[in-house]
Amino acid sequence: MTVLELDETRAAVLHAPRDLRIERRPLPALGAGQVAVRIAAGGICGSDLHYYLHGGFGAVRLKQPMVLGHELAGTVAALGPGVENLAIGQKVAVNPSLPCGACRFCLAGMPQQCLDMRFFGSAMRMPHVQGGFADTIVCAAAQAVPIPDSVSLEQAAFAEPLAVCLHAVTRAGSIFGRRVLITGSGPIGLLLVIAARRAGASEILVTDIRDAPLRKALEVGADQVFNLAADPDALVPYAAAKGQIDVAFEASGSGAAILAALPVLRPQGVLVQVGQGGDVNLPISGLVGKEIELRGSFRFHPEFETAVRFIAEGLVDVKPLLSAVLPLERAVEAFDLAADKDRSVKVQLSFG
C-alpha cells in the first residue's frame, strides 16, 4: 500500500459559460477503498460542451465552479487503505458513475437511476460532483477498471460514451437481425453504429444534416446514410407499408428527428431516445395507431465493464472517432474544436 504524495492537481474548471480555466486544486486524502489515478486521456462529451457553451441543459445548470470531464483513462498512482485488486501503474478506464448501492433502484438493478448518484462532472446535485479533466483524480477503486497494456489510454477513454450506447442498445431489447435507423451522427450516433453492428443489426441507416459525420458513419459500419438537410424526403421510401424500420436510436436530441422517425418505424417498432433535448410536439394518434414505443435511455452501469472488454478484445474499433488530442493547457481550443461538427468527432485532452 502506498501513500499518495501529491496533494494538488491541475484541472479544467468551468466558472461560467465560456469561462474555462486551468487551475491548481487540492486533492483529497485517499480514503479507504479509494485510489488515485493519473489521467492520461479525457474525452470531451456533449454534456461538457453544453456546460461550456450554455452553462447546462434543461433544469441542470452550473451553480458553482466545477471541474468538467467524465470520459477518462489513466494509470493507478496510489492506493488507499484496503485496496487489493489494483496495483500502482495499472492502466485503467475510469467509470464516472458512483451509485449508492443501497437505494431501491440500486437494489432493483437500475443503479443508473440511483437516488443518491455521484456522477463525475455533473451539476445535477449541490455541491456539484467534480469531474476528471485533471492530472490526477481520486476515485473509488471499483471505478478504476483495468485494461490490458496492449490497449491505448486514448481508446480506453471511449469506454464511457460506448457504455452509454451499449445501454441504449440493451434498452431496445434485442436488435439481432433487425433493420436499425440512427438519427444523428455525432460521437454518440457513431458509437451507436458501432454498437448496433456489434449487436448484430442486419442493416444500419444513419441520418444527419451534415456530410462530414455521415462519411464517418459509413467508415465505422453504416450501410446507408442520408443527409436530411440536402434531401428532406430521403427516408420516404422506408415509410411504405406502415414502415420498414424495426428500431430507431435518436441521438440528436432534435424533435424533428423523432418526428421523422415515426413514419418509417414499423408497427410496434421501438424508438430509443438517447439524445437529451428540448420539447417535441408529438402526435398522439401516430403513436397509438401504429403502437409505437418510445423509450428513454440514460447513462449505463454494468455496460461500462462490457465497453472496456469490447475495446480491449478488439470487438469494436473506436479509433476512427478520435479527431484530435490537445494538452490540458489548450483546453479552450479543444472545446471550440469539439463544438465544430464539421471539423471534429471526438476531441480528447491529454494530461501530465
Binding residue for a second copy, selected from 6, 212, 280, 325, defined by CB under 8 A: 280
Question: SS3 of 331, please?
Answer: helix
294 binds a second copy (CB under 8 A): yes
The full DSSP string for 239-265 is: GGGG-SEEEEEE-S--HHHHHHHGGGE
C-alpha separations of 110 from 11, 116, 161, 274, 299 in Å: 31, 12, 18, 17, 11
Q: Which residues of 104-117 are buried (b: 16+ CB within 10 A; e: fewer)?
A: ebbeeeebbbbeeb
148 binds a second copy (CB under 8 A): no
Min separation Cβ 317 and a second copy, Å? 14
258 binds a second copy (CB under 8 A): yes
> What's 67-94 look like in SS3?
ECCCEEEEEEEEECCCCCCCCCCCEEEE
Q: Which of 52, 121, 39 is nearest to 335 (CA)?
A: 52
Min separation Cβ 85 and a second copy, Å? 15
Is residue 157 within 8 A of residue 137, CB to CB? The reply is: no
C-alpha cell at 180: 436499425
Question: SS3 of 42, please?
Answer: strand
Min separation Cβ 309 and a second copy, Å? 5
Judged by CB under 8 A, how many residues of this single chain contact a second copy? Answer: 69
Min separation Cβ 285 and a second copy, Å? 4
203 binds a second copy (CB under 8 A): yes
The full DSSP string for 176-211 is: TT-EEEEE--SHHHHHHHHHHHHTT-SEEEEEES-H
Q: In the window 71-110, what residues touch a second copy (CB under 8 A)?
A: 101-102, 104-110
Binding pattern for the stretch 114-133 against a second copy, x by CB under 8 A and - elsewhere = -x------------------
282 binds a second copy (CB under 8 A): yes
Min separation Cβ 244 and a second copy, Å? 11
The residue among 226 and 310 lying less far from a second copy, judged by its C-beta, is: 310
111 binds a second copy (CB under 8 A): yes
Binding residue for a second copy, selected from 3, 26, 84, 288, defined by CB under 8 A: 288
The residue among 78 and 201 lying less far from a second copy, judged by its C-beta, is: 201
Region near a second copy per CB under 8 A, out of 47-55, 227-235, 279-287, 342-350: 279-287
Tell me the C-alpha distance between 195 and 163, whole Å.
Answer: 9
Contact set with a second copy (CB under 8 A):
57-59, 101-102, 104-113, 115, 166, 169-171, 173-174, 176-177, 198-200, 202-203, 223, 241-242, 253, 255, 258, 267-268, 273-285, 287-298, 302-303, 306, 309-310, 313, 315
